[in-house]
């Protein structure tokens, strides 16, 4: 089947030359046609969104923006809604992820964007959310107001379904009209959301545009970034490096690089009663989106000293991965991905021959691999697609320096531990570079209002304008009612 994906207010997409992105094969094949804009058309589109969309968006109080997003999310949570049906039909075909996994993942994810969660999101960054609507008195004296960018540009990456929603919503909450560039790996979600939002709230119809151009098209990047106050980009370090080179120095660049995440399992969680539940939670974190999220675990460090040994935990994890294989089939791997998985598996095996205590659990033809090691190493990425390491440590705090070795990349740490251990570990993990500590089983579902990669999602976007107390005081001298 063939669909069109883009959202271009003020332009007739049908008149533009189209590029086709193809996904899947045979009956499952989807051709996504995306319009190709020239750099000049991109600039004009950006100017249109900034002027027309901005005027409408900036006139709305945050509470009304939240109401509009909530309304759109409610539609997406409704199993009978045509937009929802389109997502459920096409996202599995485009990304290759298991359809049931996508359905459950969408529900869990979209629930974090309902009105109460969005209010919390704003309150997380703004003690007084009205700062976004008008000048407000501030404790140090005087008044202040937060202005979102005149134009925000998003550069999305990757195929984790719905990922663009995070930054899209952040931009809307600070009243930033935005142009987003979708990734070739998943061009569907963002334009669909923009269309839906326009339908539920016509005042937002020109506040967003969604385009596609090939990654590395520097002429298009320059044209678009030249119009932006803030560029928010996702991608690998090479991509971010190349993008940054196209951003004017006066434009704020907010990069989100690829990350590494891990799980920690304490001896307290390792008894016969609990081990299966812990292993299940860990396995779900691995299986969800095939470890492609920045929050997905690559390694579980497991403490010795429980009734269940780290090796037995690895076996339990293997068992749960085997069980989940039937519930959520692994996506078909490209040749390159398959080669990468095989190379990783073989590398683990070679380490064992070279004297490292590594043991591979799972047959060569299973769609998952657990590499158990009796000896822990510095955190290393695995090959994704359900390849995971379990490494034994004496105590969980021994894992901290192993994580700190990758502090530039560290993000989420999923933890199964007793309360005193959890709180004792939080400090050292923070120092090691982690930005999010969560329960095992929740690694792929950050809570509403989380600070992505440890940054303020909304505050980073805005400009605070201060009306100082001196101006207020001085104004009194010129008041018509002065004494």
Partner 1 sequence: MRGTYRKAVVAEAAIPPSNEASPLVTDLLAFIARARGSEEDFNVLALRLFAHQFQHNLAFQKFCQQRGRTPRTVRRWQDIPAVPINAFKDLTLSCLPPEACERVFMTSGTTRGDVKGRHYHPHLRVYDLSMTLNFRARFMVGQERMRMGILFPNEQLMPHSSLAHYLALALHEFGTPDSRYYLGADGLLVDDLVATLRQVQSSGEPFALLGASYSFVHLMDALQARGLQFQLPAGSRLLDTGGFKGQSREMAMDEFYGALSQTFGVPRSACINMYGMTELSTQFYDAGNAVLPAVKSGPHWIRTRVVDPLTGQDVPPGERGILAHTDLGNFNSVTTILTEDVGVAVEGGFLLLGRAQGAQAKGCSLAVDEFLKANRV
Virtual torsion, Cα 353, 359, 361, 364, nearest 10 deg: -10
Stretch that binds partner 1, among 3-11, 202-210, 318-326, 351-359 (CB under 8 A): 351-359
Residue from the set 1, 219, 272, 338 that interacts with partner 1 by CB under 8 A: 338
Q: Which one of 131-139, 188-196, 246-254, 292-300 is the stretch in contact with partner 1 (CB under 8 A)?
A: 292-300
Question: By C-beta, is 249 or 354 nearer to partner 1?
Answer: 354
The answer to whether 258 contacts partner 1 (rule: CB under 8 A) is yes
What is the rounded CA–CA span in Å between residue 432 and residue 427? Answer: 9
| Smallest distance from partner 1 to CB 41, Å | 28
C-beta closer to partner 1: residue 31 or 349: 349
Closest approach of Cβ 234 to partner 1, in Å? Answer: 6
Q: Output the smallest distance, CB 462 to partner 1, in A.
A: 24
Q: Is 291 in the site for partner 1 (CB under 8 A)?
A: yes
As a whole number of angstroms, the distance between CA 147 and CA 58 comes to 9
**3-class secondary structure, 469:** helix
Q: Of the ranges 30-38, 120-128, 283-291, 304-312, which one interacts with partner 1 (CB under 8 A)?
A: 283-291
Nearest to 372 by CA among 434, 292, 318: 318
Does the protein bind partner 1 through residue 377 (CB under 8 A)? no
Candidate list 124, 349, 374, 466; residue touching partner 1; CB under 8 A: 349
Of residues 300, 302, 304, 307, the one with CA closest to residue 272 = 307
- Rounded to the nearest 10 degrees, the angle between the axes of helix 99-110 and helix 82-95 is 130
Q: For residue 45, give Cα distances in angstroms to 112, 177, 475.
A: 31, 11, 42
CA nearest neighbour of 443 among 300, 273, 258, 336? 300
Helix (H, G, I), strand (E, B) or coil at 40: helix
Return the residue of 336, 420, 477, 482 that touches partner 1, per CB under 8 A. 336
Report the residue number, 57 or 170, with the smaller CB distance to partner 1: 170
How many angstroms separate the CA atoms of 120 and 396, rounded? 32
Q: Which two structure tokens, joined as six digits, stand for 156?
A: 């999305």
- Reported residue count of the chain is 483
* Residue 380 within binding range of partner 1, rule CB under 8 A: yes
Residue with tokens 């545009």: 209
Give the tokens for residue 482.
């002065």
Q: How far apart are CA 57 and CA 89, in angstroms?
A: 32
- Number of residues this chain uses to bind partner 1 (CB under 8 A): 52
Q: Does 108 bind partner 1 (CB under 8 A)?
A: no
Strand partners, 181: 155, 211
| Pattern 135-174, partner 1, x by CB under 8 A | ----------------------xxxx--x-----------
Q: Which stretch binds partner 1 (CB under 8 A): 121-129, 141-149, 335-343, 471-479?
A: 335-343
**Whole-angstrom Cα distance, residue 320 to residue 442?**
16
Which of 75, 181, 259, 436 is in the footprint of partner 1 by CB under 8 A? 259
**Site map for partner 1, 227-246, x if CB under 8 A?**
-------xxxxx--------
Residue number with CB closer to partner 1 (6 or 383): 383
Cβ(101)–Cβ(334) under 8 Å? no
| Nearest CA-CA partner of 96 in 23, 166, 38 | 23
40-48, 117-125, 344-352, 396-404 -> range binding partner 1 (CB under 8 A): 344-352
Outline where 370-468 has alpha helix (H).
400-404, 419-432
Residue 69 or 383 having the CB closest to partner 1: 383
Check binding of 283 to partner 1 (CB under 8 A).
no
Contacts with partner 1 by CB under 8 A lie at: 95, 157-160, 163, 185, 234-238, 256, 258-261, 289-294, 296, 298, 333-344, 346-347, 349-351, 353-354, 364-365, 380-384, 409
């Amino acid at each position: 089947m063939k669909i069109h994906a883009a959202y271009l207010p003020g332009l007739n997409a049908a008149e533009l030359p189209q590029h086709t992105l193809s996904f899947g094969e045979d009956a499952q094949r989807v051709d996504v046609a995306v319009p190709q804009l020239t750099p000049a058309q991109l600039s004009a589109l950006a100017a249109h969104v900034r002027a027309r969309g901005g005027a409408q968006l900036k006139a709305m109080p945050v509470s009304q923006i939240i109401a509009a997003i909530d309304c759109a999310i409610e539609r997406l949570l409704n199993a009978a809604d045509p937009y929802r049906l389109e997502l459920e039909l096409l996202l599995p075909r485009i990304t290759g992820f298991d359809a049931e996994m996508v359905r459950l993942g969408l529900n869990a994810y979209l629930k974090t964007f309902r009105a109460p969660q969005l209010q919390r999101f704003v309150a997380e960054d703004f003690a007084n959310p009205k700062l976004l609507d008008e000048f407000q008195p501030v404790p140090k004296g005087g008044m202040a107001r937060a202005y979102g960018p005149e134009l925000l540009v998003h550069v999305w990456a990757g195929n984790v379904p719905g990922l663009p929603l995070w930054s899209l919503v952040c931009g809307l909450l600070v009243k930033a009209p935005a142009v987003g560039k979708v990734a070739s790996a998943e061009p569907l979600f963002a334009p669909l959301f923009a269309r839906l939002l326009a339908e539920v709230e016509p005042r937002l119809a020109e506040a967003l545009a969604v385009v596609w151009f090939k990654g590395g098209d520097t002429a298009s990047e320059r044209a678009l970034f030249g119009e932006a106050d803030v560029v928010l980009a996702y991608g690998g370090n090479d991509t971010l490096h190349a993008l940054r080179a196209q951003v004017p120095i006066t434009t704020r660049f907010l990069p989100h690089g690829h990350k590494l995440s891990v799980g920690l399992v304490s001896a307290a969680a390792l008894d016969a009663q609990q081990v299966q539940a812990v292993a299940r939670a860990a396995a779900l974190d691995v299986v969800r989106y095939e470890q492609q999220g920045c929050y997905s675990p690559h390694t579980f460090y497991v403490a010795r000293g429980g009734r269940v040994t780290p090796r037995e935990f690895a076996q339990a994890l293997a068992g749960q991965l085997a069980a989940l294989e039937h519930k959520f089939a692994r996506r078909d791997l490209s040749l390159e991905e398959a080669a990468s998985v095989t190379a990783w598996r073989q590398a683990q095996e070679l380490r064992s021959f070279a004297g490292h205590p590594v043991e591979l659990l799972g047959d060569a033809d299973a769609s998952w691999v657990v590499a158990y090691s009796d000896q822990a190493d510095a955190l290393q990425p695995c090959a994704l697609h359900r390849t995971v390491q379990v490494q034994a440590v004496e105590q969980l705090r021994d894992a901290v320096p192993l994580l700190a070795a990758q502090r530039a990349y560290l993000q989420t740490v999923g933890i199964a531990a007793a309360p005193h251990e959890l709180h004792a570990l939080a400090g050292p993990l923070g120092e090691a570079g982690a930005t999010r500590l969560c329960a095992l089983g929740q690694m792929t579902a950050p809570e509403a209002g989380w600070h992505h990669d440890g940054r303020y999602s909304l505050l980073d976007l805005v400009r605070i304008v201060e009306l100082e107390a001196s101006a207020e005081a001085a104004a009194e001298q010129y008041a018509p009612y002065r004494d």
